[in-house]
Structure 1
């Protein structure tokens, strides 16, 4: 099922409610080759209205820029170091996002830390979209109040390309990942820091009988309890350990070279049911090509 057909199907189903559509821009950075900290600093200026939710933060220059912008920064309480507002969570407040002037979002797998910027493999997206910004602003309000509410506008059209947006646990990110994987017709490439969800793993084993499935997983976690690395390998799926001496921290699926799933969500039980997380599902072959290049770069380390 290609992206165009999915868009047409959604338009048909939602005929009673038009999918929000707008022109915008998606910029993608891959740390450590790209300086993700500087990309965020360049997006922030002293006149910006900046709101962020970070699992962790210890980059001095970025912290200084956030202070100058008088940003509101929510930080997971266990990583709070004196700057920002400590936030409780049922599990982890694992987000890594910002909203700039209610018209841009910053998201991805990137924790703004020294390791995150200089050692670990991460992806960072800076997206100009007022519709996505509304969703992330709503999530900020929920995090402040310690509440959860399903996302009201899960589907938007950005430059005529479908973008889906979900927040865990309220939107059941796992269900949306499974849905996209079930529709895969040609290939699935994935890069995962932590992968323990057996249902997703079983679906990949099943799909591997008919299509090309290839994965890269963080080496230091492959022998941990519940990790599915050995299950996938023993079941015939081509999956390998990464060779980055730091950490391969991506959480991304590339489906049929047309769809990218990315964000803060690791395919784990806690990632879906306990942690505060966010994902984007981007139906754009050009974006998929960029992520596939990152996949092969890491594969060939």
Structure 2
């Protein structure tokens, strides 16, 4: 699976469009090098295996140029896209505007670009529309921790996952249907789905505002035995102070990579006991890994507003490979600072 992931680098990319590009490169090489028929047959066999792998692969991205390139390539080969984000600018909107598109944004975040896009704004008066995902042709979804802006996709540290798993895509479509029906905040139908996904294994997807979002995250933290690694932009919720300190007191190694926003505002992070914390000026990710086998990712900041007011999405994935990939990135950033 390769070495350490750098910013903007993607993990696992064996999908069919990549296979097609790869095949052209290989056959050009075969012409230039005069490969034998046997070697050509072996090449075709290898390509078949790549195609097979593509049926069960996913893509993990960290913000950067590779992510933006991937999104633009997906938009170029798609006929429709559905977008949900707190805010958006023109970083990728040109390719969005070229196809059938529907966009929901938070009115306080909004669109800061210049194109004539089909945008609707959330109707909740209490909380933010804070989810971040993009559905391509109703068959694939890119979801994660960043808005579809220059800072969200390029400069700040965010994490995104792309999947074509039908069960996962359906859940995101169901949430999108809430917004399409004018249902936001407490008025919408809360989603709480447990899935057995071909690509990941056990997956739980929960939307808020609901107590189930908080309870689901706390439950995973409580079961930790060895380690907890936290990417946190905004951290103000005392529930998480208590549960993380309790985990630490039970000999669980707790490490937090926090944005320095928490130094400026009234975050309880500075009062936490026996927990290692490092600050950076570019952390926007909202992601927790537990015991090298569980990933909690989504739009959910560890705040009161996220818990009680906002339209949020949390995805809990039981997958060691995914957890290890994210942990390697965490450890790299930890060592740098």
What are the residue-to-residue correspondences of 1:52-67 with 2, within 5 Å?
52-60=83-91, 62-67=92-97
Aligned with 1:102 (options 126, 138, 141): 138
Which stretch of structure 1 is more off in the superposition, 87-96 or 286-295? 87-96
Shift of 1:24: 4.0
> Following the alignment from structure 1 to structure 2, what is the Cα–Cα distance between the partners of residues 114 and 25?
27
Name stretches of at least 5 consecutive residues in structure 2 with no aligned partner: 1-54
User: Using a 3 Å threshold, how does the CA distance of structure 1 residues 36 and 30 change in structure 2: closer, same or farther?
Assistant: same
How many residues were matched structurally? 271
Shift of 1:173: 1.2
CA-to-partner distance for each residue in 1:4-36, whole Å, 9 max, x for gaps?
A: xxxxxxxxxxxxxxxxxxx6432011113x432
2:268 corresponds to which residue?
228
Partner SS, residue 208 of structure 1: helix
User: Using a 3 Å threshold, how does the CA distance of structure 1 residues 184 and 118 change in structure 2: closer, same or farther?
Assistant: same
1:189 corresponds to which residue?
229
Aligned with 2:58 (options 22, 26, 30): 26
> Taking structure 1 as the reference length, what is the TM-score of the superposition?
0.85
The answer to whether the Cα contact below 8 Å between 2:190 and 2:208 also exists between their aligned partners in 1 is no
Name stretches of at least 5 consecutive residues in structure 1 with no aligned partner: 1-22
1:135 corresponds to which residue?
171
Bigger Rg, which one: 2
2:246 corresponds to which residue?
206
Partner SS, residue 87 of structure 2: coil
Partner SS, residue 315 of structure 2: strand
2:129 corresponds to which residue?
93
Partner SS, residue 205 of structure 2: strand
Aligned with 1:282 (options 297, 305, 317): 317
2:305 corresponds to which residue?
270
CA-to-partner distance for each residue in 1:225-257, whole Å, 9 max, x for gaps?
A: 2x121122xx11111212x4xx21010111001
> Following the alignment from structure 1 to structure 2, what is the Cα–Cα distance between the partners of residues 248 and 160?
25
The answer to whether the Cα contact below 8 Å between 1:44 and 1:65 also exists between their aligned partners in 2 is yes
Which stretch of structure 1 is more off in the superposition, 259-268 or 83-92? 83-92
Shift of 1:102: 2.1
2:3 corresponds to which residue?
none
> Following the alignment from structure 1 to structure 2, what is the Cα–Cα distance between the partners of residues 294 and 211?
20
Shift of 1:199: 1.3
Partner SS, residue 56 of structure 1: strand
- Match status 1:155 vs 2:155: no
Q: Would you identify which runs of 4 or more consecutive aligned residues in structure 1 move more than 3 Å?
A: none
The answer to whether the Cα contact below 8 Å between 1:92 and 1:275 also exists between their aligned partners in 2 is yes
> Taking structure 2 as the reference length, what is the TM-score of the superposition?
0.76
- Match status 1:68 vs 2:98: yes
User: Using a 3 Å threshold, how does the CA distance of structure 1 residues 120 and 159 change in structure 2: closer, same or farther?
Assistant: closer
Aligned with 2:66 (options 16, 35, 49): 35
Higher relative contact order (CA 8 A, sep 6+): 1
Partner SS, residue 266 of structure 1: coil
2:82 corresponds to which residue?
51
Partner SS, residue 193 of structure 2: coil
The answer to whether the Cα contact below 8 Å between 1:149 and 1:170 also exists between their aligned partners in 2 is no
> Following the alignment from structure 1 to structure 2, what is the Cα–Cα distance between the partners of residues 87 and 160?
31
Partner SS, residue 190 of structure 2: coil
The answer to whether the Cα contact below 8 Å between 1:35 and 1:117 also exists between their aligned partners in 2 is no
> Following the alignment from structure 1 to structure 2, what is the Cα–Cα distance between the partners of residues 150 and 116?
26
